[in-house]
Amino acid sequence: MYDILICVNMQAGDNKMIVEKILQKSGLKKTKGRVQILGLLVNANKPLSIEEIECLVGTDVHFVTLYRMLHQFAKSGIVYQTDLRKGKVHYELQKKHHHHIVCSICGVQEDVPMCMDALQASVASRSKKFNAIDNHVLEFFGVCKKCS
């Protein structure tokens, strides 16, 4: 988890600072590309697919670099990989753990602040093969108000 959590009331321009802190903390070098991509993810506030990122960033970052960067970010725990049933992996900044509701028609997303951490222990206790559970994925699907 990053300092972004305690910066909720910051101005938009301060995103640059957030990005720098994230990179600093992870020990990754601060390059133009990384700043740009992380900036996008900070602003996006929702999971982005590689395709979407590629589109937003234009030709500034080579797609090979993009793949390498996102792998690196995921490995460093900076971003989080989510599947939203669109056939493609999406990446999201690793903020406070939360979930999403996704519209099956237009794909619009909404954050669900609630979390099931408490549930994990109870599930683990009833498991035969597992002693503990350390993570989970939870996504909701429905039709949004606009589409219904």
Give the residues lining the site for its own copies (CB under 8 A): 81, 83, 85, 87, 89, 101, 103-104, 108, 110, 112, 114, 116, 120, 123-124, 126-146, 148
* Residue 89: HSE in the Cβ half-sphere, 13 Å Cα cutoff: 9
Q: Which of 68, 75, 85, 98 binds DNA (CB under 7 A)?
A: 68
- Residue closer to DNA by CB (options 88, 136) is 88
- Mark residue 134 as left, alpha or beta (left: phi above 0; alpha: psi -120 to 50; beta: remaining): alpha
- Residue closer to DNA by CB (options 76, 120) is 76
If one asks whether residue 34 binds DNA (CB under 7 A), the answer comes out as yes
The owner of tokens 């519209």 is 103
Instruction: Give the footprint of DNA on residues 74-103 (CB under 7 A).
Output: 87-89
- Residue closer to DNA by CB (options 33, 44) is 33
By the 8 A CB rule, do 116 and 65 touch?
A: no
**90-109 burial, b for 16+ CB within 10 Å, e for fewer?**
bbbbbeeeebbebbeeeeeb
Question: Which of 45, 50, 57, 58 is closest to 74 using CA atoms?
Answer: 50
- Residue closer to DNA by CB (options 83, 111) is 83
Q: Which of 69, 78, 84, 102 binds DNA (CB under 7 A)?
A: 69
Q: Smallest gap, in angstroms, from Cβ of residue 46 to DNA?
A: 18
For 7, 94, 100, 135, the CA distances from 39, given in Å and listed in that order, are 15, 13, 21, 26
Q: Smallest gap, in angstroms, from Cβ of residue 113 to its own copies?
A: 9
The owner of tokens 């997303």 is 109
Site for DNA, rule CB under 7 A: 28-34, 50-51, 60-65, 67-69, 71-72, 87-89
